[in-house]
Amino acid sequence: MRLEEFIEDFERDEAADRRRLAREKSYEITDHLDDVEQQFERVVQGDSLFGSTAPEIFVGRSNYPDVSTGLLSPMDREADAAQFATSGEWYQQGLGVEEVLQRRTGLLNSTRSAQVNVRDVWDGFVGVQREVAIADQPVDVELGLDGSPEIDLSLDDISTPTGPRARATDATLAENPSVPRAVEKTLEDDDWQAEGAMTYLYRRGFDVYEINTILSAGALGRGRNRRLVPTRWSITAVDDTVGQYLRGSIRNAPSIDEVQVWYNEYMANDYWIILAPGNWEFELVELKAPGSIWNPDGGGEYYMAADSEGYTGRDSYVDETSGAYYASRLAVLERLADIDRQATCLVIRHASDGYWAPVGVWQIREGIRHAFEEGQPAVAETFHDAVRGLAGELPVSLGALRRKSELVTGVQSQLADF
Amino acid sequence: MFKAIVRAERLQSTLDSVGVLVDECKIHLDEGGIEIRAVDPANVGMVDLSLDADAFESYEADGGLIGVNLVRLQDIAGMADSDQLVELELDEETRKLHISIDGLEYTLALIDPESIREEPDLPDLDLSSTIVIEGRDIDRAVTAADMVSDHIELGVDEADGVFYVKAEGDTDDVHLELDGDDLIDLVAGEASSLFSLDYLQDMNKAIPKDAEVTMELGEEFPVKLHFDIAEGEGAVTYMLAPRIQSN
């Protein structure tokens, strides 16, 4: 895997814009940040030593390869630390945008800057961070902090938001972390390419959330290639790698035999998934409402983005839909691998203005995963019938959709059909 | 047995016209020349190629079948300058192909033909229109369409007697019309089909700019592109399945 593929340009002021918008949308978040500040003052003792339980880590991407790397731990020591880590359970618990932001603002990001090259680094701050990442339970740690944290909320379309940040002087483990056997195996084998190790963990029942934390800590891959991977890139890298593995597994599978339309709604995002008979072909079309966080001009038009792939996949990183593409593709491929069928698949995501702050691509992944678990699909005669059937529910015209979407324009046939 | 000498340029272009669709293929080594037929893994694009014995500097074969890794064979052939001669000889015992280029010897391990995807039958299609067009006009259409879109519509307006090319992107459109005067020949019937530019671009790469290409088109039907290679001592037919717009 080439990490450069996951790097995109990131404008600082765009990030600031998003924060401002999110605050405007919810004064409660601003109030909540004030509470967080008071809470912090209560928990940190005079010498700035902070005992906590860390469920997750964060690796920034600015300034790569000199990155800011952090341990995330709840400031409320009574809280169940595991609840603060991003996982599919957040969907089951029915978390909304507000709750995600609250949870994450209660999580202190204790950071240090570090070189990403971590081949043999198992001591010091980075060592502790890596231990936390590979452990299967939140780990008790002692953190030395340098001054007060910056109380803020950092939003990103791919990663889960992070809250207050404080500079750490050092970190020590307060317990011996428990590391699952399969993770030890991938860790010890330094001649195992990262892709293979990720796939191995997935097949052993680890979800992508755990795998991307492990990858992020530089604990997978060939020895000389092991480095810290910025959280945002590692999420996409794992979705992509596991997706490619699943796509390979259905390469010769029979096609589904009817056109199905599945639907789910989560956090003011509508998801329609059309599965049609044919070879594997996939497209994500995103429709973002004016006034939503990604399309702030309230009086403007819908923002449309689309990316697609044919039977053999893509040769390059997507142009328009970034991490959402790989997260949605994974969810669909999991379904197809599960029923051992291939299909031509169109996912339409409508982000309405109720989705007022981005919470990360986990929301998309879970929204689509659960579309297949709840209820029965609608059935259509043909792919284009299914699209026409949806037209009334979509916020854009069929003509506009056709111009944007490769699949709505035409579905690839096979020579054997003639 | 198989033993042949061929100009590098001729071998390279032959391999390239198959290599745009598949990474490995079967080659029939018949008395009268070689034949290759292959379909891409998605069963969307197909190639049918023949190169007569006369296209070689020397040629001897008695009807064998070999499986080759095309990517590797293309690499080897690419080592030669275009006017150099490439010698090919099959070792039946070891199932290896010996290739020599001006003192450079390369022994290529062959693939069991049984392990290569089965050769497709040529579908018998009743296509309404025949357009005879220069390779460079196909290149012009494909290049322009690629600027705006991932797909391209090829069609014939029977009443006006024109062959047209349309591509619609997010915002921009490309349209090209060629009438009887621009084309080498046109037998017009109602025809229009949409194709993936990915495939058409690959095929276009293998079509010589000065070739006379016979294109057969129908209504949401595969397109056939036929042209001669090696100064008429060989021929290539491509067939490409359409993207279906209507149902």
SS (H, E, C) chain B: CEEEEEEHHHHHHHHHHHHCCCCEEEEEEECCEEEEEEECCCCCEEEEEEEEHHHCCEEEECCEEEEEEHHHHHHHHCCCCCCCEEEEEEECCCCEEEEEECCEEEEEECECHHHCCCCCCCCCCCCCEEEEEEHHHHHHHHHHHHHHCCEEEEEEECCCCEEEEEEECCCCEEEEEEECCCCCEEECCCEEEEEEHHHHHHHHHHCCCCCEEEEEECECCCEEEEEEEHHHCEEEEEEECCEECCC
Q: Which of B93, B115, B137 is the last residue of a domain?
A: B115
State the average pLDDT over residues B121-129: 86
pLDDT tens by residue, A349-393: 999 988 888 899 999 999 999 999 877 899 999 999 999 999 999
| Same domain, residue pair B55 and B139 | no
B247 domain-assigned: no
Q: Do B194 and A311 touch (CB under 8 A)?
A: no
Which residues from B are below 8 Å from A382, CB to CB? 247
In tens, the pLDDT along A119-129 reads: 778 888 899 99
- CA–CA separation, A195 and A243 (whole Å): 11
Q: Assess whether B34 and B134 both reside in one domain.
A: no
The confidence band for A5, taking pLDDT boundaries of 50, 70 and 90, is very low
Residue A11 has pLDDT above 50, yes or no: no
Owning domain of residue B235: 129-240
pLDDT reported for residue A236 = 96
CA distance A72 to chain B (A): 42
- Minimum CA–CA partner of B45 in chain A: A415
- Residue B133 and residue B80 share a domain: no
Average pLDDT over residues B24-50: 95
Who among B43, B169, B198 is closest to A414 (CB)?
A: B43
Q: What is the pLDDT of residue A22?
A: 63
Query: Domain for residue B32, yes or no?
Result: yes
Q: State yes or no: pLDDT of A1 exceeds 80.
A: no
Q: Does B53 share its domain with B148?
A: no
- Closest CB to A382: pick one of B150, B151, B247: B247
Are B146 and B55 found together in one domain?
A: no
Identify the band that residue A156 occupies on the pLDDT scale cut at 50, 70 and 90.
confident
Is residue B123 included in any domain, yes or no? no
Q: How confident is the model at residue A162 (pLDDT cuts 50, 70, 90)?
A: confident
Residues B6 and B108 in one domain: yes
Q: For chain B, give the mean pLDDT.
A: 94
The pLDDT tens digits for B207-237 are: 999 999 999 999 999 999 999 999 999 999 9
Query: Where residue A46 falls among pLDDT bands split at 50, 70, 90?
Result: low
- For residue range B88-118, what is the model confidence (pLDDT) as tens digits? 999 999 999 999 999 999 999 999 999 998 8
Q: Which of A209, A270, A216 is nearest to A396 (CA)?
A: A270
pLDDT band of A7, cuts 50, 70, 90: very low
Same structural domain, B133 and B109: no
Query: Average pLDDT in the A11-25 region?
Result: 56
Is the same domain home to B15 and B98?
yes
CATH number of the CATH domain containing B204: 3.70.10.10
Chain A hits for B244, CB-CB cut-off 8 Å, are: 384, 410-413
Domain membership of residue B245 (yes or no) is: no
Binned at pLDDT 50, 70 and 90, residue A102 comes out as: confident
Domain end residue (candidates: B64, B92, B115): B115
Residue B16 counted as domain residue: yes
Domain count, chain B: 2
- Domain end among B64, B81, B115: B115
pLDDT per position as a tens digit, A114-153: 889 887 788 888 999 999 999 999 999 988 888 777 877 7
Nearest to B244 among A311, A385, A413 (CB): A413
Within 8 A of A398 by CB-CB distance, chain B residues are: none
Does one domain contain both B167 and B222? yes
What pLDDT, on a 0 to 100 scale, did the predictor assign at position A51? 80
Per-residue pLDDT at A280 exceeds 90: yes
Across chain A, mean pLDDT equals 88
Same domain, B133 and B185: yes
Q: What span, in angstroms and rounded, lies between the C-alpha atoms of A56 and A58?
A: 7
Q: Which residues of B touch A277 (CB under 8 A)?
A: none
Nearest CA in chain B to A305: B170
Q: Is residue B246 part of a domain?
A: no
For the segment A164-202, what is each residue's pLDDT rounded down to a tens digit? 888 898 899 999 999 999 999 999 998 999 999 999 999
- Interface of chain A against chain B, CB under 8 Å? 279, 304, 308, 310-312, 381-385, 403-404, 406, 409-418
Residue B18 lies in a domain: yes
Say if residue B6 is in the same domain as residue B106: yes
pLDDT digits (tens, 9 = 90+) for A281-297: 999 999 999 877 667 67
Q: Give B-chain residues touching A250 at CB under 8 angstroms.
A: none
CB-CB neighbors (< 8 A) of A311 in chain B: 41-42, 44
Inter-chain contact B222–A382, Cβ cutoff 8 Å? no
Distance from CA of B47 to the nearest CA of A (A): 12
pLDDT: which is higher, A414 or A75? A414
Range with the poorest average pLDDT among A37-51, A96-110, A255-269: A37-51
Query: Do B77 and B165 belong together in one domain?
Result: no
ipTM: 0.93
Residue B177 falls within a domain, yes or no?
yes
All structural domains of chain A: 3-173 (no CATH), 181-249 (no CATH), 259-417 (3.30.230)
At residue A15, the pLDDT reads 56
The predicted pLDDT at position A127 comes to 92
